[in-house]
Amino acid sequence: MPIFGAMLPPPFERQMLEILGPDEYRAFLSALSEPPLVSIRYKITTSEQLYLQSDTVPWHPNGRYLPERPVFTLDPLFHAGAYYVQEASSMFLHEALKQTVDFSRQLKVLDLCAAPGGKSTLIADMLGPDSLLVANEVIRSRAGILRENMEKWGAPNIAVTSAEAEEFAALEGWFDVIITDAPCSGEGLFRKDADAIREWSPANVELCAIRQRRILAAAVEALKPGGVLVFSTCTYNRRENEENAAWLAQEYGLKPLKLKIPSDWGITEAESGGYHFFPHRVRGEGLFLAVFEKKEGELPRHQVQQGFKSIKSLAKSQVPEAARWLAENTDMRFFVTPSSEIIALPAALETEYLILDKHLKIKWFGTPIGEFKGTDFIPSHALALSSAVSPALPSIDLTREQALLFLKKETFDLPADLARGWTLARFNGLNLGWMKVLPNRMNNYLPPERRIRMDIRP
């Protein structure tokens, strides 16, 4: 059957007939022929009033279905990190973690296959300020967009890394929670992506299943005794899903955790204890998710190195000026990178960052907040978007037209009485970036790579 111009492979059709049966398979095909849904998940600090008219995603209180796909590039709130455009089924991670993890504790969480950042930003909203989130992407070209999305989300208690799964095995028993959204054959993307159909094959299914076991084995090594492992794919077949879930239980003694799910959500429980999302049953794309608990045991000890390998403490004389740009209730340690960039790390997590630094080669810690040019501090774009930025700093609320011009790095008129100096450009109360107000003009410090390049006229 053609789906948006691509024929479904006969082996895939036979597979789905076996999984669903003839009647459900026809409903499944009908769902694939419909346009994919558009959904967003807004940040917990964003005003809910912005999205009250949209249907709620059942398994995430901040998830919303949109009636149509807007041009997100032309929405200043998108650039301010007010929301993340995330497929609705993927938001189920929130419910799975809410039922199985105690978020009142200080936690160390690893999102092992994190790019472009949907699950990491979701987890960041659930964590307390003294918990640590490590968002990892092994492919360096994809780590860039992960960093950008985490920066836009603004959580200071993060690390972005680019490492093979096996590198985390050195952190034996260290993480309380590990999310493994494993690379898969992509059957759940067929409605959205014709290329996923053309690239599918039984051989690729087998290759993905083997690759997943390699990644999951490393994840189990890094998981703390008593910790929680979430394994998910965006595919339907048993080889990648049920068989690998059963392998985790048999090979490592992991205990599948059963979730309480309302029947009207349309989610299907698998024999392995995992959960299937089929597009004819739920308002979302294809997904499989299973949650496991590692058996209790002795906690390994990790020695803390004396200092970081490549960053050094900021000079004491410069700390007061750097701290002035952050909210008063933040307790940060300031460090300087070899490129003179200043980063802020939550003081409560310095030991955890030191342990990460010891074992991982490629990593970006905390929040880049700026750099000193002589005695002058130049704030970074990441600081503007960070939840740690001081609310007392000068700011100006822009109209939508002004906000789009700012995001396009074009000029517009400012109030004549606006104070000179560094000013946060804002829209609907959310920061967009920095401008420096000078006599008779304004310098726009939005990074060139973040600017809008398309026509902003209506």
The residues near 165 (Cβ < 8 Å, ≥ 6 apart) are: 112, 138, 214, 215, 218, 219
Backbone angles phi, psi at 93, to 5 degrees: -50, -35
CA 233 to the chain's CA centroid: 16
CB 233 within 8 A of CB 200: no
Query: Of 113, 184, 208, 234, which one is the catalytic site residue?
Result: 234
Two tokens, residue 34: 């419909």
Query: Residue type at 245?
Result: A
Backbone angles phi, psi at 20, to 5 degrees: -105, -25
Judging by DSSP bridges, how do beta strands 55-56 and 63-66 pair with one another?
A: antiparallel
CB 352 within 8 A of CB 345: no
CB 354 within 8 A of CB 305: yes
Three-class SS state of 457: coil
Cα(97)–Cα(259) distance, integer angstroms? 10
Three-class SS state of 43: coil
CB 130 within 8 A of CB 109: no
The residues near 434 (Cβ < 8 Å, ≥ 6 apart) are: 379, 381, 384, 422, 423, 424, 425, 445, 446
Maximum alpha-carbon separation in the chain: 73
Two tokens, residue 150: 């985490």
Q: Which residues of 74-93 are buried (b: 16+ CB within 10 A; e: fewer)?
A: bbbbbbbbbbbebbbbbbbb
Measured torsion, CA atoms of residues 293, 294, 299, 300, in degrees rounded to the nearest 10: -130
Two tokens, residue 89: 């089924």
Whether residue 208 lies in the annotated active site: no
Angle at 441 between CA 438 and CA 446, to 5 degrees: 85
**Looking at 351-445, which runs of residues are DSSP E strands?**
363-365, 367-373, 376-379, 395-397, 421-427, 430-438, 441-444
Residues marked active site are found at 234
